[in-house]
Each structure stands twice: as structure tokens, then as C-alpha cells.
């Protein structure tokens, strides 16, 4: 209904009724608050505080009261400003065709849970009318959708991870998906031998392989993440890239799971390299360790991948992507882990739970102290 008059937080509509139309701050966000149907302005004003308090209470735990349709609308709105228009249309098509028939009119808390997502996934995979390539696009869209819900705190980390691990890519062309590449210790050694020891690249890749974070976590590192006294580096934030016209990056302290927040011990020689680098370049606490066009712009993922490919080719080793580097260190740590403490230390370095680390990387019995694990891999 069209608004004919506005008085502060109150509006009059064409049929002469009044309503509330304003924004209310809930936690750190402003949310639209609207209510219609008041006969007079006085009635709207008299009910304002009560209605406002009710609205705030109903929205403190947003995910408890948000339906699929609302989350889908927010997700598509985010997509429309971060990706190309064609990609937004594709996402909208996937949501309308493969998500809405299953989840329409359901609360987030009722459909984003392991059993519901598992049932949806099984039905998708078993549908013979859909090709494997299309299925994988839909699975990828669901993973993005769940991550969006998690990053905006509509679901908690445990629910997100329990659902995300179910969403495995299906077989393509009758063949199993290729196994993710993990280097041998020789390939890793050859790779580092190909990088000039006095270069910034040497420090960057040595730190990356040793700490083995996700690439978005690594590129977000700043001097304030490093403890000079304890020789530990904290993984506490990540870089989020938006591909809108401004091209601005966004720092987020919301990581994938609660286990992703961790501190990682550095070998003495690497700690010394890092400390000298910070001092020599006078990098401030709020500047990126590895920067792009300026010190407040993180190093680009594409540039990082090009440098990685360059040294792979120089060393004559198989090309891997940044996540393959993380996978390599996980496999190497799993191979030298022999006791329960080893498993916990290795899992903690990677930001996994011990159970996930064992299920994903280790068919061994593992464990020991973190510093001893480092010594076994790096001869620290």
C-alpha cells in the first residue's frame, strides 16, 4: 500500500490508516521494523514501544524465526552485488528448481540440520534425470548457501560443519573424482630449493606450508597475529573478497568452525625469518604481512597461485593449488603422528577436530607433542 504521509517513524497510507516504518538496532545491525493497521496516529504512537520490544525479542535469535524464503532472498541479494549478473541468475534458477520445492515455508532451524540436508542430497544424487555436472553445480550452490547462513550467524558452527561434510561431489562421467594431490617430502624439499632463500617468496611459502591455514586465513595475517615471545601465530580472521565494482576486500573474524581459531607454533628458524621481515619492512600491527597494491590490501589469491605455479614449474614438481598445499602438510603430519597427543596437536594446527583429522587424513595411530611433530617434518 502506498504511503501518503510520513511523520518520523510513522506513516499514513492511502486508505488513511497509520503504521510504523523505521529501523531498529539489534546487536550490531539495523533491521527494518514495520507494522500496519492503526486507525490513528495516536494509536500507532501508543503502541510503538511495545511493538518495538516485541520485534527486538523476535529477532534476537534471527535463525529461530527466519524462513527459507527470507534466507534465500538475502542470499540472492548478496550474490547480486558480489558476482556477475549471469551467475546470480544461475543461482536463482538453482534455488527455485532444487531448493524451494524441499524447503519452502520451513524455518531455518528445521531445514538446516543434518537429517534434512542428507535427505535432500540423497534425492538429488539418485535423480537419474539430472547429469553429474549439473548435480555438482547444485551441490556447490548448497555449500555456498549453508556457508552464507553460517557466516551471518543464522546457524552455529557444528550444524554448518555436520551438513557441509555430507555434500560430496558426485562421480563424473562414470569415473571417481580425481584424488586430491599431496606432495611427497621430496617434492616439498625440491619446491623450497627452487625459491631464492633471501626472497620474500621464500618466507611467504615457508610460512604458508608450515602453518597450513586455509588461503583466506593466511592472506589475512598481520603482525598483531604473531606472538614474538611464544613464537606462535594466531589464526583469527580471514579475507573475504567481493567482486563488485569497488573490488574492496573485507576482513572477517568469523572462521569456518570453532576449531579454526588456533595458535600455531613456528620452528625457531622460521620465527626468526618472520621477525626480521616484520622489523625490516616496519610492518604495523594493522597492516597485512603480505600485501597487494598497498599495505592495507591483502595479497591477491590469484597472484599467490601464479607464484606457486611458477616455483612448481622451476622445481619440476606437480602443480597444486593452495588447498593442495594444506592437504600436503596434513598428510605429512598424519604420517609421522604416532600417538593420541600427536593427533590432537596435528588436528589443532590444521583447525580440525581430532575426529575429522583422523577420518580425513590418518589411517594411522598418531600423537605426540607439537614441537616434536614439527621436528619430524621440518627437522626443526
Q: How far apart are CA 373 and CA 380, in angstroms?
A: 9
Buried b (16+ CB within 10 A) or exposed e, 52-71: beebeeebeebbeebbbeeb
Q: How far apart are CA 225 and CA 146, in angstroms?
A: 28
Q: What is the pLDDT of residues 254-307, one digit of tens each?
A: 777 777 888 899 999 999 999 999 999 999 999 999 999 899 999 999 999 999
Q: On the CB side of 155, how many CA atoms lie within 13 Å of its CA?
A: 27
Domain 185-378 adopts which CATH fold?
hpI Integrase; Chain A (1.10.443)
- Beta strand ranges found along 253-313 (DSSP E): 262-265
Q: Would the pLDDT of 180 be above 70?
A: no
222 in Cβ contact with 288 (< 8 Å): yes
Look-up of cell digits 538475502? 74
> Which of 155-164, 217-226, 326-335 has the highest average model confidence (pLDDT)?
217-226
Average pLDDT over residues 156-172: 82
Pick 365 or 2 by higher pLDDT. Answer: 2
Cell of 180: 586430491
Q: Would the pLDDT of 155 be above 90?
A: no
Give pLDDT, residue 356: 65
Q: 14-18, 154-158, 245-249: which range is least confident on average? A: 245-249
Give pLDDT, residue 158: 80
Q: Hey, where are the domains in the chain? A: 3-60, 68-164, 185-378
Give pLDDT, residue 358: 65
| 380 band by pLDDT with thresholds 50, 70 and 90 | very low
Average pLDDT over residues 242-254: 61
As a CATH number, domain 68-164 is 1.10.150
Give pLDDT, residue 98: 94
Q: What is the pLDDT of residues 53-92, one digit of tens each?
A: 888 777 665 555 678 998 999 888 888 876 677 788 888 9
DSSP sequence for 88-153:
HHHHHHHIIIIIHHHHTT-BHHHHSSHHHHHHHHHHHHH-TTS-HHHHHHHHHHHHHHHHHHHHTT
- Whole-model pTM above 0.75? no
Give pLDDT, residue 365: 39
Contacts of 153 (CB under 8 A, 6+ apart): 62, 63, 254
Q: Would the pLDDT of 244 be above 50?
A: no
Contacts of 103 (CB under 8 A, 6+ apart): 68, 111, 116, 120
CA angle 119, 122, 127 (to 5 degrees): 125
> Which percentage of the chain shows pLDDT scores above 90?
34
Give pLDDT, residue 175: 46
> Which percentage of the chain shows pLDDT scores above 70?
84
Q: Would the pLDDT of 171 be above 80?
A: no
Give pLDDT, residue 174: 46
Q: How far apart are CA 48 and CA 251, in angstroms?
A: 37
Q: Sort strands 18-26 and 29-38 into parallel, antiparallel or unpaired.
A: antiparallel
66 in Cβ contact with 107 (< 8 Å): yes
Average pLDDT over residues 131-141: 91
Q: 35-44, 107-116, 169-178, 316-325: which range is least confident on average? A: 169-178
Average pLDDT over residues 234-239: 89
Pick 350 or 270 by higher pLDDT. Answer: 270
Average pLDDT over residues 112-140: 91
> Which of 6-10, 19-23, 76-80, 280-284 has the highest average model confidence (pLDDT)?
280-284
Amino acid at each position: 500500500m502506498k504511503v501518503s504521509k510520513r511523520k518520523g517513524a510513522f506513516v499514513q497510507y492511502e486508505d488513511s490508516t497509520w503504521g510504523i516504518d523505521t529501523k531498529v538496532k539489534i546487536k550490531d545491525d539495523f533491521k527494518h521494523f514495520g507494522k500496519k493497521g492503526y486507525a490513528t496516529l495516536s494509536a500507532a504512537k501508543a503502541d510503538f514501544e511495545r511493538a518495538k520490544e516485541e520485534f527486538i525479542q523476535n529477532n534476537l535469535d534471527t535463525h529461530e524465526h527466519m524462513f527459507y524464503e527470507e534466507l534465500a532472498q538475502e542470499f540472492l541479494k548478496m550474490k547480486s552485488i558480489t558476482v556477475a549478473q549471469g551467475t546470480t541468475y544461475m543461482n536463482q534458477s538453482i534455488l527455485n528448481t532444487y531448493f524451494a520445492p524441499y524447503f519452502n515455508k520451513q524455518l531455518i532451524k528445521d531445514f538446516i540440520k543434518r537429517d534434512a540436508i542428507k535427505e535432500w542430497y540423497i534425492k538429488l544424487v539418485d535423480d537419474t534425470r539430472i547429469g553429474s555436472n549439473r548435480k555438482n553445480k547444485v551441490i556447490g550452490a548448497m555449500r555456498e548457501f549453508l556457508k552464507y547462513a553460517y557466516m551471518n550467524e543464522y546457524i552455529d558452527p557444528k550444524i554448518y560443519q555436520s551438513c557441509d561434510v555430507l555434500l560430496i561431489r558426485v562421480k563424473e562421467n562414470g569415473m571417481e573424482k580425481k584424488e586430491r594431490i599431496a606432495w611427497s617430502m621430496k617434492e616439498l624439499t625440491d619446491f623450497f630449493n627452487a625459491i631464492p632463500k633471501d626472497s620474500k617468496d621464500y618466507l611467504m611459502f615457508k610460512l604458508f606450508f608450515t602453518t597450513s591455514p586455509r588461503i583466506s586465513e593466511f592472506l589475512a595475517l598481520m603482525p598483531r597475529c604473531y606472538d614474538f615471545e611464544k613464537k606462535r601465530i594466531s589464526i583469527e580472521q580471514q579475507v573475504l573478497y567481493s567482486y563488485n565494482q569497488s573490488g574492496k576486500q573485507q576482513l572477517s573474524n568469523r572462521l569456518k568452525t570453532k576449531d579454526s581459531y588456533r595458535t600455531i607454533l613456528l620452528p625457531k628458524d622460521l620465527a626468526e625469518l618472520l621477525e626480521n621481515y616484520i622489523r625490516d619492512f616496519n610492518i604495523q600491527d594493522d597492516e597485512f604481512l603480505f600485501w597487494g597494491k598497498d599495505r592495507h590490501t591483502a595479497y591477491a589469491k590469484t597472484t599467490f597461485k601464479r607464484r606457486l605455479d611458477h616455483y612448481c614449474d622451476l622445481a619440476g614438481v606437480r602443480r597444486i593449488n593452495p588447498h593442495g598445499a594444506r592437504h600436503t602438510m596434513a598428510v605429512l603430519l598424519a604420517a609421522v603422528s604416532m600417538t593420541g597427543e600427536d593427533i590432537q596437536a596435528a588436528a589443532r594446527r590444521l583447525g580440525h577436530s581430532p575426529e575429522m583429522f583422523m577420518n580425513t587424513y590418518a589411517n594411522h595411530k598418531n600423537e605426540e607433542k607439537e614441537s616434536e611433530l614439527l621436528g619430524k617434518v621440518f627437522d626443526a
